[in-house]
Amino acid sequence: MTNTDVINFLKRNPSLSLSGLEKEASIPSSMLSKAISGNRNLNDEHLTKLSPVLKRYGFHKSDGAKIISIVNNKGGVAKTTTCSNLGRALHLEGYKVLLCDLDQQGNLSQTYDINDPEEELYQSLSFKIDAPIQNCIMEIFPGFDICPSTIALGQAALDLQNNQLKGYKRLSKVLDQVRNEYDFILIDCPPSLDIMTGTALVASDSVVLPVQPEEHAVKGLKNVFNLIDQMKDLNDHIQIEGILFTMVTSNTTLHKSYMEAIKEGMPHVRVFDTLIRRSISIPEATATHQSIFDYDKSSNGAKDYKNITLELIGETKLKKK
């Protein structure tokens, strides 16, 4: 919820008592009338208190991109590969997509041969610089953009950590600047459960969890679920899209047994029907700075990522922009 969201909602509902809302939310009197007139901006504390009150009167987030974080605290499970190829597959289905590289390793950016961008996400996340996110967005294809990152993102992480109340909400505020310009925003999270993953979860509508079938996968997932539960205090609408098995050798007994064990250990969590099979074409595509669809659209990797995309959008009712 942003200052603009609140003002627009109140203007659409003039019958609501501003003084009554202020009393229910325990914010200073005349605050809302001043915000509507442009004489005052609602701060984070005001917005947090107003959120549950306005929802009781029918407030809901204005239409815009569905924001999905790709999360796992373990590296090497194809988070970046999934973010890249899922984004490109959504784009090929006719959706406008923004990729957001939230890992200071910059692997998602490097996938598209972006190594030293003039502007990057760090400059928008930093409280000191506070650059518009539009400055760092780069076009890959028309309707398919990326907000790149480099090692400098680590400085933004320190800024957010030093001001955690605002830090956890920072990415949400930054993405609100462009949310209405896209159908999907996909966030490639770092392989850790730090404040960068936290701010991604606060900004997100949902989460996709890439998982390689292996012995300790359930333990790692439980750590992710614990963080998601913690972030629900700041984002009560976040949902888990499901677990996506990646790098699967489906004809091996070992992988089959691990996948069954994960399903049994997480009975309350959806598991996608689609499996991302191990395929040499996927790392080859990355090495040539392309998505799997642009490298070899007839490969098993392309087929799998198209299938997971169709499975995912079957759960949405977003109209294409």
- Are 260 and 122 in the same domain? yes
Q: How many domains does the chain have?
A: 2
pLDDT of residue 200: 97
Q: Verify that 9 and 143 share a domain, yes or no.
A: no
pLDDT digits 0-9 by tens, 1-30:
677 778 877 877 778 899 999 999 999 988
Residue located via tokens 């099979």 = 277
> What are the Cα distances from residue 76, in Å, to 190, 197, 239, 247, 295?
11, 16, 24, 10, 21
User: What pLDDT is stored for residue 68 in this prediction?
Assistant: 97
168, 198 Cβ separation under 8 angstroms = yes
Whether 126 and 274 share a structural domain: yes
Gyration radius (Cα) of the chain, Å: 20
First and final C-alpha spacing in the chain: 22
User: Tell me: the pLDDT tens digits for 52-106?
Assistant: 888 888 776 656 899 999 999 888 899 999 999 999 999 999 999 999 999 999 9
In a domain, 318, yes or no: no
Look up the pTM and report it.
Answer: 0.82
The number of C-alpha atoms within 13 Å of 207 and in the hemisphere containing its C-beta is 30
Among the three residues 57, 76, 97, which one is the final residue of a domain in this structure?
57
Does the pLDDT of residue 247 top 90, yes or no? yes
> What is the separation of C-alpha 252 from the centre of its chain, rounded to a whole number of angstroms?
33
- Residue 293 and residue 165 share a domain: yes
Domain match, 33 and 157 both: no
Helices (H), 242-318: 253-265, 281-287, 292-295, 300-313
Which tens digits make up the pLDDT trace of 248-305? 997 788 898 889 988 888 888 889 999 999 999 999 999 999 999 999 999 999 999 9
The tens digit of pLDDT for each residue in 100-159 reads: 999 999 999 999 999 999 999 999 999 999 999 999 999 999 999 999 999 999 999 999
Same domain, 41 and 171: no
In angstroms, rounded to a whole number, what is the distance separating the alpha carbons of residues 278 and 289?
A: 19
List Cα–Cα distances, 50 to 165, 170, 175, 277, in angstroms.
16, 18, 20, 46
CB 302 within 8 Å of CB 292: yes
- Cross-strand partners of 147: 100
Q: Which domain holds residue 15?
A: 3-57
The reply to whether 42 and 189 lie within a common domain is: no
Asked if 90 and 7 sit in the same domain, the reply is no
Clarify whether residues 102 and 242 are in a common domain: yes
CATH number where 124 lies? 3.40.50.300
Among 266, 182, 281, smallest CA distance to 225 is for 266
Structure tokens at 203: 């900004």
Q: How many CB atoms lie within 10 A of CB 206?
A: 18
Tell me the residue type at 70: I
Domain-embedded: residue 155: yes
Q: What is the pLDDT of residues 181-217, one digit of tens each?
A: 999 999 999 999 999 999 999 999 999 999 998 877 7
Same-domain check for residues 295 and 161: yes
Residue 143, Cβ neighbours under 10 Å: how many?
16
Q: Is residue 118 part of a domain?
A: yes
Residue where one domain finishes, among candidates 57, 75, 102? 57
Cβ distance 21 to 65 under 8 Å? no
Distances from the Cα of 284 to the Cα of 65, 103, 213, 287, 289, angstroms: 30, 22, 22, 5, 9
